[in-house]
Amino acid sequence: MQHSFCLRSLYSVLHPPVESAIDSGLWDGMGAMAVNVSPRQFQQAGFVGMLHEALAESGLTPDHLEIELTESTLMHGSAPEATLISLRELGVLVAIDDFGTGYSSLSYLKRFPLDILKIDQSFVRDLSDDPNDAAITLAIISMAKNLNLRVIAEGVETQEQFAFLKSHGCDECQGYLFSKPQPAEAITQILANQAEAGKSRAA
């Protein structure tokens, strides 16, 4: 029962937009699909095997999937290190979501095999007006770089925020400045537009 819950949840997220994008050749070079994984899913026995099955069903390669976990999921779960190592061996990317708002210890950053830190939007929101938020954001970016982790800023809504983050070395940004949440059927068109824009810039 738990197996079917986890697999069904992952499959429903991965399959509709991914199958269409892969079939049309639009996924190449478009980066990874990020999927939030709940503590319940992450702690299920056989989670990595279920994930491998969902990937096979959808046709998505592991290096195009990013699993997002919260700090509390890692620190309060059972045997998270073994699961993270298995995810690394599978080739899936692992991101810490809402970084800076959860567990206060930083020791897990050196203990666990991670790929990405995602700066919580609560720090990004007032970057322009609050020097403390700016200082925390810069500290996270610097720490991520020194640990050879990619860093992504969440909740970017203004050009000013984007310019600040870009100028200080943030690898990626996400938020309403770029796009609001989209239904699955719109994903293929978005990828097509990005692919066409890329061709135009290269021409």
Q: What is the pTM of this model?
A: 0.81
Please check whether residue 70 is in contact with residue 60, taking contact to mean a CB–CB distance below 8 angstroms. Answer: no
CATH of domain 1-71+79-97+109-114: 3.20.20.450
Q: Which DSSP string corresponds to 3-39?
A: HHHHHHHHHHHHHHHHHHHHHTT--TTS--EEEE--H
Domain boundaries, the chain: 1-71+79-97+109-114, 118-189
d(CA 80, CA 77): 6
Please check whether residue 126 is in contact with residue 160, taking contact to mean a CB–CB distance below 8 angstroms. Answer: no
Taking only the tens of pLDDT, the chain with its 203 residues reads 333 334 445 555 555 555 555 555 555 556 677 888 888 888 888 888 888 888 887 777 888 889 999 888 887 766 788 899 999 999 999 999 988 886 656 888 888 999 999 999 999 999 989 999 999 999 999 999 999 999 999 999 999 999 999 999 999 999 999 888 877 667 767 767 766 776 666 55
Element (H, E) at 96: strand 93-99
**According to the model, what pLDDT value does residue 91 have?**
94
